[in-house]
Structure formats: C-alpha cells, structure tokens
A and B are shown apart, each in its own frame.
Chain A
Amino acid sequence: MSDWRAIAAAALFAAAPALLAGEIPPDARRSGYSFMGPETRAMQDDDTSNPGMLFVLDGEALWAKKTGSAEKACADCHGDARGSMKGVAARYPAIDKALGRPVTLDQRINLCRANHQQATPLPYESRDLLALSAFVAHQSRSVAITAGDDPQARPFVEQGRDLFMRREGQLNLACTNCHDDNFDRRLAGAPITQGQPTGYPLYRLEWQTLGSLERRLRSCMSGVRAQAYDYGSPELVALELYLMSRARGLPMETPAVRP
C-alpha cells in the first residue's frame, strides 16, 4: 500500500513540472485591468481622467510635426494615423525585412526617423518616443493582439519563451513562476497578474509617468535581483514578442493605467 502511495507521489511529482509550466489557455487569459480596483479602472476608462491621454495628445502633435534634415513629418508618409495606424501596434514587435529580426514599435519609430526623416533617434523612455508610440498604439485600442503570427517570427517567439521559463537572479525565479503559476494571488499585498502586455506604453501610478513594456520587464528583473537586459537588446525584444503572442486575442488598451 505504501509502495503504491510512493509510486503515485513520484508520478505526481514527475508530472508536476509539466503542469506548473503550463501556459494559460486562451479563454483564461486576462488583462491586468481585471486585477485592478474600481478606482484605477475608472481612471483608465475615462479619457479625460486617464493621464496617458496627455501623452497621446503630445504624440498627435509630434505626428504632424516636420523633423530631421528631410523636413518630413510622420503624417507626410503615413497620412491620418486614425486609418493608417489602426491595428499596427497589435502586430508589434514585428519582423523587419531588412534586419531579419523583430523590432519593437519604439525601434520602428526610430528606424523611420533614421531612414526617412534623417533625424536623430529618440532615446528610450524619452517623453517624445513614449508620446509617439502611445499615439500610434492608441489607434489600435480594442483591436485583438496578433503579434507573433508571422512564421518568420517563430524562432524569436521561442527564444522569448525560453527566457520567460528560465530562472534567473539571486532569487532564482522565472517569469513563469509568478505569471503562469501564481496569478490571482498576492505578492506583498499587490495582486500578481498574468503579465499580459495589453496596454503599453501605459501610465503607472508608481512611476508617475508613461513607460514602455521594456521598462516594466527591467523592473521585474531587478525585482528578482537579476542583471536587467539593456533597452533594445535582442533578449528584451524576444521577451516582448513572446509576451504579445502569449496575449493573442486580447484587445489593446493603450494607454492603460496600472497601479
């Protein structure tokens, strides 16, 4: 009898890693919005109380402003963003044909600046870059996420998935340990979410400003006492791509508000 129990326990133990590393099924995927309190939800829902909309307004002005030695504005090539940018952010990070690797929306904006506007790249997390990417991503609000569907992106999605599953840092935790296995529980009083990047760039009350998904990932990495990857590094882009493909089908919320 005790032998059987030992065998059953061993079998359960052997199966456990597979169960724990289980990805969240599509119908159980939830935006971070569903983990928030009513006050923070109300703040996001009303465009006149959502501070992220201030950045969207700035981005709208930048979209039409001529810049660089080519004296071109984004609008000169792309026209009215309401039509031309609808759904674009839901597909990013996307493969850049010339580079042969995925680029984030921020990197795409800077590639456009370099190649078409002959302008200097905007630094990561600078107000102008966040404003432009918030304005572009806002056009995809309520569009379902489809990033990572491109077959060319598959190896990079896999790379991102490996990083998501890999333990790192002094606390020896992988992203999956919290965001697949323990969402809906609490960490020091704060809800653990599924880590679905539906609303980036988003306004975090803790930051008192808008921030990118890369900033969020880097703060999680310092949280587990790991060396954070640099902004724009291939690892962060792969992680971002995996996260977006993991959120497939969820609607975009940019600019979201999070605590």
Chain B
Amino acid sequence: MAALINVPAKAKRGDVIEIRALTSHIMETGFRHTADGKLVPRDIITSFTCRYNGTEIFRADLFPAIAANPYLSFFTVAKESGKFEFEWIGDNGYSSTASASITVE
C-alpha cells in the first residue's frame, strides 16, 4: 500500500529529528453494520514499528478507534547515517513496509 514518509535527508549528529509516517488503510472498526444488518468484519492495522539501522526506536499499537489512513509522528536523535525502516502489521495477514535514508554529518 501507498505510504508517505517524511524523514529529513540530512541532519547534524545529535540533532532531534521529527519522523512522520502516513499510510493507506481503511481501518474498518468491526463495529459497523451494512444496510442489511450484517456486521462488517474488523480490518485494522494493529502494530507499527520503526527501526533505525536495525534497532527498534519506536513502536505503536493501533486500535479500532483510530482513523483511516493512520498518521504517526515521533522524534528521535540523529546518531549515524543510514536507513529508517517502517513496518505496518494488521488484520487478515496485512503487512506493509517502507524505508527512508538519512545522512548524518
């Protein structure tokens, strides 16, 4: 699925940087019914992880009350050049990944 990641391309060592991740997902709550009364099964993202050069730096659990196309923003300290890897895991075996690079001077 489409994802929009915002990581600064460059940072100074020790800088606090903001990371933003937006991904495409319907986040169906599992509490809604169709017009003919059938329950719409739950289909949400349940977990989000961000790794910085392999080390997990941020994790979030997501729940049914979270809006469609979840947007997460968080901060970390720029330590070394490398790669941020993002992973979304959800119902029905849903899995999606994205990555972004950073140069630390």
Contacts and interface: CB of A to CB of B under 8 A. Distances in A.
Which of under 10, 10 to 19, 20 to 34, or 35 or more describes the interface residues of A?
10 to 19
A51 B71 contact: yes
A146 to B, nearest CB: 30
Given A53-B4, A208-B67, A48 B20 contact: yes
Contacts, number: 37
Contacts of A172: none
Contacts of A205: 67
A54 B22 contact: yes
A54 B20 contact: no
Interface in B1-59: 2-6, 20, 22-24, 26-27
B67 A48 contact: no
Contacts of B5: 48
A162 interface: no
Nearest to B23: A54
Closest 7 CB pairs of A and B: A48-B6, A208-B68, A51-B69, A57-B2, A54-B24, A54-B2, A48-B4
Given A49-B4, A208-B68, 13 more contacts: A48-B20, A49-B20, A49-B22, A51-B22, A51-B69, A53-B22, A54-B2, A54-B22, A57-B2, A57-B4, A208-B27, A208-B67, A209-B26
